[in-house]
């Protein structure tokens, strides 16, 4: 039996969480769910978007499945996602993008993994205003890129490629302009690549990489990059396969791992029962892989893809005019798990 911290989140979070739990449990894997609050739901109960009981649960269980959260605007509240990544050093954000048959997108051959450094760069949050004459005349942000951070994430990407039968790793950077931060990232990339002679290595400048992803995404396999670039490119990759509603992500550290839907909490459709549960279900699939439950993970992947390809029991975002609910789609996926 596995113990997992379950964070239902805000907005559509509780709806897609129930769908994901049903699908995961249908595989036969036994999980003890420890339900905890974060985001607005936690603010209402604890006055804190990331209360200590949630942190303690994750620290104990080492694995979490998290639905989308809403970070309160103002009041000095920090992003729960960023806080969890930094608290548990979840340095690797892994975002697969694999084409789904049955979606209305121009690409059918996308199969790439974005590995994003998750704790450094511009998202380190070191910034300040420069004042003159009583007003803010400028703002500065400091991008922190350490040698250890670069080595950890790039080595992770190469090892991921080797462990998962991938052939190539692309280091994405802006070393032609950002000589120090991106320059260090590229330097470490070249060093690490020498340890993996069985994996093809290339590097791409980030803007050229974005263009090439749109022109021919099949030329990429595993991409590894810094925090901000990875945030942008992973969303671009999601768009190539049908959007964030189909895209899951994993936040991996050396001691803990958190799996999540990467889309927002969509308060405009909360409670309507029409949210697409695919992203969180696929996050559950990634979680089962991490837990060593490979057979169960494969069952979920096949079931989700079969339902989307058939197109009969999918939510309105996948089939305009559909009357299928979140629960209906989950039931259809459960019915395909064999």
| pLDDT tens digits along 23-38 | 999 999 999 999 999 9
Residues of the chain with CATH 3.40.50: 105-226
| pLDDT tens digits along 161-214 | 999 999 999 999 999 999 999 999 999 999 999 999 999 999 999 999 999 999
Q: Are 226 and 120 in contact (CB under 8 A)?
A: yes
Among 155, 231, 289, 328, the one annotated catalytic: 231
The confidence band for 73, taking pLDDT boundaries of 50, 70 and 90, is low
- Examine the residue annotation and report whether 123 is marked as an active-site residue of this protein: yes
| pLDDT tens digits along 89-135 | 999 999 999 999 999 899 999 999 999 999 999 988 889 999 998 89
What CATH architecture does domain 1-93+242-338 belong to? Answer: 3-Layer(aba) Sandwich (3.40)
- Examine the residue annotation and report whether 207 is marked as an active-site residue of this protein: yes
Among 167, 195, 207, 254, the one annotated catalytic: 207
Q: Are 299 and 336 in contact (CB under 8 A)?
A: no
Q: Which residue has the tokens 């889309």?
A: 263
Residues of the chain with CATH 3.40.718.10: 1-93+242-338
CATH entry 3.40.50 includes domain 105-226: yes
Among 66, 174, 285, 336, the one annotated catalytic: 174
Sign of the alpha-carbon dihedral angle for 147, 150, 156, 162 = negative
Share of the chain above pLDDT 90, in %: 90
Share of the chain above pLDDT 70, in %: 98
- Examine the residue annotation and report whether 174 is marked as an active-site residue of this protein: yes
The confidence band for 293, taking pLDDT boundaries of 50, 70 and 90, is very high
**70-103: string of b/e by CB count within 10 Å (b at 16+)?**
bbeeeeebebbbbbbbbebbbbbbbbbbbbbebb
| pTM of structure | 0.94
Q: Which residues contact 185 (CB under 8 A, 6 or more apart)?
A: 145, 150, 154, 171, 173, 175, 225, 226
Among 10, 34, 66, 123, the one annotated catalytic: 123
């Amino acid at each position: 039996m596995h113990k997992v911290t379950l964070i239902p989140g805000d907005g559509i979070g509780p709806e897609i969480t129930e769908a994901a739990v049903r699908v995961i449990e249908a595989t036969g894997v036994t999980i003890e769910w420890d339900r905890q609050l974060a985001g607005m739901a936690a603010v209402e109960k604890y006055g804190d978007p990331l209360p200590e009981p949630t942190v303690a649960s994750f620290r104990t269980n080492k694995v979490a499945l998290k639905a989308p959260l809403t970070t309160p605007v103002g009041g000095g509240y920090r992003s729960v996602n960023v806080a969890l990544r930094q608290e548990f050093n979840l340095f690797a954000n892994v975002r697969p993008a694999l084409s789904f048959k049955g979606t209305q997108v121009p690409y059918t051959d996308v199969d790439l993994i974005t590995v994003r450094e998750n704790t450094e760069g511009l998202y380190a949050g070191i910034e300040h205003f420069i004042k003159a004459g009583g007003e803010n005349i400028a703002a500065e942000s400091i991008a922190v890129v350490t040698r250890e951070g670069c080595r950890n994430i790039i080595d992770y990407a190469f090892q991921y490629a080797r462990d998962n039968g991938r052939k190539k790793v692309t280091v994405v950077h802006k070393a032609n302009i950002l000589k120090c931060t991106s320059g260090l990232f590229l330097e470490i990339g070249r060093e690490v690549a020498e340890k993996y002679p069985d994996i093809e290595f290339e590097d791409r400048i980030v803007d050229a990489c974005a263009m090439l992803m749109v022109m021919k995404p099949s030329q990429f396999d595993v991409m590894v990059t810094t925090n901000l670039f990875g945030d942008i490119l992973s969303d671009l990759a999601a768009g190539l396969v049908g959007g964030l509603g189909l895209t899951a992500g994993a936040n991996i550290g050396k001691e803990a791992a958190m799996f999540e839907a990467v889309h927002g909490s969509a308060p405009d459709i909360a409670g309507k029962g029409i949210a697409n549960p695919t992203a969180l279900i696929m996050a559950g699939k990634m979680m089962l892989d991490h837990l060593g439950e490979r057979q169960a993970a494969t069952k979920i992947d096949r079931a989700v893809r079969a339902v989307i390809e058939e197109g009969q029991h999918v939510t309105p975002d996948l089939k305009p005019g559909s009357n299928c609910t979140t629960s209906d789609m989950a039931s259809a996926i459960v019915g395909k798990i064999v």
